[in-house]
Chain A
Amino acid sequence: MAGEIPILQIGDCLLVSIQVDMHDRLAMALQDDLTVRIVQSRARGVMIDISALEIVDSFIGRMLNNIAGMSRVLDAVTVVVGMRPAVAITLVELGLTLTGVRTALNVDKGLAMIRRIIDDGERGAGAGRG
């Protein structure tokens, strides 16, 4: 278990909702636990809900990038949802790029996005490498 951060499973997606102002140990624990859960549940999508986060600094940014990287290796799509406008503006000013991290406005759109990507991926694979 990732301490105070619950990981829910919805179909073949994992949903993580970050509610607390995380300190470093918690962030590391989350990364580790998520990786284990992705493998265990054979999840195809990982959704990280940061709508409760008032601050995203380079540490959290690193964590998000790491999660995206690990899940990509495990053939899962990562979508970050619920970023607050003030946070988005600050991140852009900070110069932080979330590489390999897709973003959506909220959980609904995030799930739809994951579905689309997985389905397109499936179709692509079925029709042969194009």
Chain B
Amino acid sequence: MRQTVHTIIPNLIETHHQRLVDNWLATQKRDGLVGGQITEDQLAEQSRRFLAELRQGVAGGQFDDISGPEWDSTRSLLDTIATERAVQGFSPSETAVFVFSLKEPLFELLRQEIQDVDTLARENWVASLLIDKLGMHTVEVYQKGREEVIRRQQEELIELSTPVIQLWDAILALPLIGTLDSARTQTVMESLLERIVSSGAEVAIIDITGVPTVDTLVAQHLIKTVSAARLMGADCIISGIRPQIAQTIVHLGLELDVVSKATMADAFALALRRVGKGVVERAKPQPPQDGE
């Protein structure tokens, strides 16, 4: 809810800025928030910068919602401070405590400057809400950063687990290990198609020995992959069909519009025929020579 609240907090912060800074630093020192990884000067620096931003932010009149443009530079400063402190070894909640510690001196300032009890109560509440939001922001930003790291690692994991192997001139093999979900299918398709382009492959053998179950969804993903390869001019052969899988496929009435073989060996033999190649029997088998 974006409402401009009537409050004298901006004025107070503006007028008594220096007093607020000094009191805040004193409070933090008293509470042991200084020392360890952060020096008094560094803390003073961070506190001053934050209060300067706070002055600007409250001047915008927006106390309910800190996601708007008036608070952009404040949020950005908090992100910087949070990162600095993370490097210095502080946990995200410790950085949040840094923000929350401003409450005491701020309430003290309000108490000193506001006579009317009702007004004081109201202004206290406004100030409290605002500082809560700012403190929460530091924790949220940290969390989102972690989520991004996890997401990237997941992507890398998926990529690592879909190798595409070139068996022969125009024949590729794609051994699938693990379940095939839609995210994985996307990566599989991308890897396979790019390899088809770079190798000029005309046949792709998709081996599903390592795929535990084939249900309707997995079958759909397989069909998508096969269709995509076909659009690139490569035929597909599915290999590694275990007996249970064959039964499931028939049971579910799945129409796999593609040739399938039980073993990779059979699939490879078929692929060779398709590209017009064959395996020749030599007159005498040659044992490995020295150094071979």
Contacts and interface: CB of A to CB of B under 8 A. Distances in A.
Q: Is chain B in direct contact with chain A in the complex (CB below 8 A)?
A: yes
Interface in A66-123: 81, 83, 85, 87-89, 91-93, 97-98, 103-106, 109-110
B189 interface: yes
Contacts of B190: 85, 89
Contacts of A98: 231
A109 B232 contact: no
Interface residues of B, number: 18
A88 B230 CA distance: 9
Contacts of A87: 231
A108 to B, nearest CB: 9
Interface in B201-228: 202, 224, 227-228
Contacts of A85: 189-190, 193-194, 196-197, 228, 232
B193 A92 contact: no
B235 to A, nearest CB: 10
Contacts of B228: 85, 88-89, 91-92
Nearest to B192: A85
A109 B224 contact: no
B271 to A, nearest CB: 16
Contacts of A109: 200, 202, 233
Nearest to B194: A85
Interface string A11-45: 00000000000000000000000000000000000
B179 interface: no
Contact of A88 (B186, B193, B200, B202): B193
A105 B196 contact: yes
Interface of A: 81, 83, 85, 87-89, 91-93, 97-98, 103-106, 109-110
29 contacts: A85-B190, A85-B193, A85-B196, A85-B197, A85-B232, A87-B231, A88-B193, A88-B228, A88-B229, A88-B231, A88-B232, A89-B186, A89-B193, A91-B228, A91-B231, A92-B189, A92-B228, A92-B231, A93-B224, A103-B233, A105-B196, A105-B197, A105-B200, A105-B232, A105-B233, A105-B234, A109-B200, A109-B233, A110-B233
Given A88-B229, A105-B196, A109-B233, 15 more contacts: A85-B189, A85-B232, A87-B231, A88-B189, A88-B193, A88-B228, A89-B186, A89-B190, A92-B227, A92-B228, A92-B231, A97-B227, A98-B231, A103-B232, A105-B202
